[in-house]
Structure 1
Amino acid sequence: MGMIHAGRQAMTGDGTTAVIGTDGLDALIRILAARGRTVIGPTVREGAIVLAEIAGGDDLPYGWGVELEAGHYRLRPREDGAVFAHSAGPQSWKTFLHPQRERQWAVDRQADGALVVTEDAPPPPSYAFLGVRPCDLRAIGVQDRVLAGGPHVDSRYRARRERAFLVAAECTEPGATCFCTSMGTGPAADGGYDLALTEVAEDGDHRFWVRAGSDDGASVLAELPRRPADEETESTARRSVAAAADRMGRTMPPVDLQLLMRETLHADRWNDVASRCLTCGNCTMACPTCFCTTAEDVTDLTGDHAERWRRWESCFDLEFSHLPGGPVRESGRSRYRQWATHKLGTWYDQFGSSGCVGCGRCIVWCPVGIDITEEAHALNAERAAGAGPDEVPS
């Protein structure tokens, strides 16, 4: 379960696997809500599958899949009525655990001129996340290390994370922009969840193979309308997930990506991608692991009330690296290179893993269709063609 769930006991053995139907999925939502949790799951809104609060099974995207490509996203109907046969949408769970904007404190000037500072300390919500993809489970684990581990803990993140209940949904239908297999993050869920579901929608028997990954998960599973896990459902579920691994729409080059980034700092390919990049920051906003923030101070017209807000920031913003002498990274080339080399390379030095989980969101939501996997392959090809390692980055 990782650092956040270290106090929970991983469950194995009898009573921790079962099969539920669509009625069990509806019951799962209602049981979690009855336990005081705000249930967040996928639902269809305004032409996309988004993450939002849901009240029951009818809110889920039954019968909807997605058509994905670089800079392209469309819903498409499915005949099998599957609920989790869609890839990662425009949002990630970061939206709820590490909100895009939140107030830190407020200060008011009293009649006598004294300043009174009030720190915002709202009670953390108790979320239940339904339908967390394996790549997003890994992304949550990455943010756990960044924001809840080490010497500088984000107390608000940690409080939300400690109260979160995670229901994973293994992938059986990868999208054209998915590459989790290359990053070792899917399509199977290998831990970090309270419950894991694998959907089987065939022969008129729409069902889910369910496993508990914690005591909390086993407790919820015991309340669901269920039947014992049978060999046919389990084997079908496992085959579907294994087949998904062979149908990834994208791949990363099978090389040491950390070394590749380090040895291609002066590659001509950075000029090519810079000619297309708008430096809009969409990739960092959609990314489930990007975590950078900035402080924003606002005041009323009288100057008697001020607030400090924290909001997401992007390394594509020219002001992101601004110093008294000016920005450190003036060019779009340097800013794209910073993002890619950090995500795929120097993240290992800081946090012990890649910052990329292969979800493909940065590809889909780039307005000009820049594809990080294409860029990595191009850098690798240029290196193989004779561009040796560089000593000093430009």
Structure 2
Amino acid sequence: MQTEPLPPAARVIDVEGLHALIGALRGEGRRVIGPAVAGGAIVYDEIDGVQDLPKGMTDEQEPGRYALRPRDDGALFGFAVGPHSWKKFLHVPALRLWRAERRGQDVTVEAPAPEAPAVAFIGVRACELAAIAIQDRVLTGGEYVDPHYQARRENAFLVALNCGKAGGTCFCVSMEAGPKVTRGFDLLLTEIISDDAHAFLIEAGSPAGAALLAQLPARPATQADIDAAEAIVTRTAANMGRAMPQEDVPALLMRNLQHQRWEEVAQRCLSCANCTMVCPTCFCTTVEEHGDLMGVESARDRRWDSCFTMDYSYIHGGSVRPTVSSRYRQWMTHKLATWHEQFGTSGCVGCGRCITWCPVGIDITEETNAISASETAGGGHGDS
């Protein structure tokens, strides 16, 4: 696992240098995961080299809409975030907890040891690093540690990326989660494309990152390189597609628990759980029991679940949140308000996935701003 950033001098590599980086990581026995085009989207998958990256591709994102488009340059990272988050490799969607088998009067129980595959993630954005830090606190930062997440997390090498493009649904600036990467990485890239060069400013953020950087064909960065990288991040920050209201959002939502907006959004919400599945910080799971008809074998599995499902809050007598409005309110107030009480931060990093991948285009920033505007207009808060 990476440590706090170190301050070594920045270097510059070209596309071949990036290919060498991927090769070096594979040479360490790591499975290298990076962006690739599949199924009409840019997803995270295993890559062998730069030839697998989405060269010259970008994405257009709006509420309920995602489309790939060609770029007029050969950028390898010229897009925002897609439907996948790195959560799927660290807090895996399905996990066998234990298996039991009965032979006569003897019962044996096998609990698989936590897997710790050697992986390297290429192109981790600032918002995604913020999301990983949140899951670190949730799943390893308390008295009860998830050993499966911890094992995977400790064996992951993170190659971060300063964003060169803001998506139409991004709002990381207003969540103080990007687009500039500041911590939590092993190596950091900024893609710089000019009329005569295609290069990457590369910086180390851990001893492991510094050791790997020393192996790459690189030259020292000039002030012009550093200025160009800063200009890219500044431009991206100025082109956010969305923004949260600049006020105390937790207090705003908690004094409006009976606001009419919850019912209005429920008329559109399908309660499909897409928003929680694509969210890089949501961590809810359920446990399933499996057994054969002979009563010889049984198993317990854990899989992702969502507060949008009726069964998630089911207790004896029925569901605690039987209506769509109550489930949407639970998700949004937990994400933006009560998460602060539990974990000390917001549960949202402004990546915009929940907006893009909502089938009906519900926008968490629009809903929050609407509640805020209703107070400004003199409507007061809904539970007064």
Residues in 2 aligned to 1:388 and 1:344: alpha-carbon distance in whole angstroms: 20
State whether structure 2 residue 97 is matched by structure 1 residue 104.
yes
CA pair 191-40 structure 1, distance change in 2 beyond 3 A:
same
Secondary structure of the residue aligned to 1:161 is helix
State whether structure 2 residue 198 is matched by structure 1 residue 206.
yes
How far does the alpha carbon of each residue in 1:283-338 deviate from its partner, in whole angstroms, 9 at most, with x for none? Answer: 00000000010101112232211111000010000011111021110100000000
Q: Which amino acid in structure 1 is aligned with residue 92 of structure 2?
A: P
Per-residue deviation, 1:128: 0.5
What is the correspondence of 1:161-240 to structure 2 with a 5 Å cutoff? 161-240=153-232
State whether structure 2 residue 305 is matched by structure 1 residue 313.
yes
Per-residue deviation, 1:391: 6.1
Find the counterpart in structure 2 of residue 10 from structure 1. Answer: 5
What is the correspondence of 1:47-86 to structure 2 with a 5 Å cutoff? 47-86=40-79
Moved over 6 A (4+): none
Find the counterpart in structure 1 of residue 246 from structure 2. Answer: 254
Per-residue deviation, 1:126: 1.3
How far does the alpha carbon of each residue in 1:110-131 deviate from its partner, in whole angstroms, 9 at most, with x for none? Answer: 1x23211000115311111000
Identical aligned residues as a percent = 52
- Whether the 8 Å contact between 1:267 and 1:382 is mirrored in structure 2 is no
Aligned length: 384
How far does the alpha carbon of each residue in 1:79-130 deviate from its partner, in whole angstroms, 9 at most, with x for none? Answer: 11111111111000000000000101100011x2321100011531111100
- Whether the 8 Å contact between 2:259 and 2:382 is mirrored in structure 1 is no
How far does the alpha carbon of each residue in 1:183-214 deviate from its partner, in whole angstroms, 9 at most, with x for none? Answer: 00001001110111001112130000011001
Secondary structure of the residue aligned to 2:191 is strand
What is the correspondence of 1:1-394 to structure 2 with a 5 Å cutoff? 5=2, 8=3, 10-14=5-9, 17-110=10-103, 112-389=104-381
Deviates more, 1:62-71 or 1:381-390: 381-390
Instruction: Name the Cα RMSD after superposition.
Output: 1.2
- Whether the 8 Å contact between 2:59 and 2:80 is mirrored in structure 1 is yes
Structure 2 residue ranges without an equivalent (≥5)? none
- Whether the 8 Å contact between 2:258 and 2:383 is mirrored in structure 1 is no
Residues in 2 aligned to 1:50 and 1:256: alpha-carbon distance in whole angstroms: 34
Per-residue deviation, 1:244: 0.7
Per-residue deviation, 1:45: 1.0
Secondary structure of the residue aligned to 2:58 is strand
Secondary structure of the residue aligned to 2:16 is helix
Deviates more, 1:378-387 or 1:232-241: 378-387
Secondary structure of the residue aligned to 2:184 is coil
**TM-score with structure 2 length normalisation?**
0.98
- Whether the 8 Å contact between 1:42 and 1:131 is mirrored in structure 2 is yes
Residues in 1 aligned to 2:6 and 2:268: alpha-carbon distance in whole angstroms: 49
Residues in 2 aligned to 1:326 and 1:300: alpha-carbon distance in whole angstroms: 28
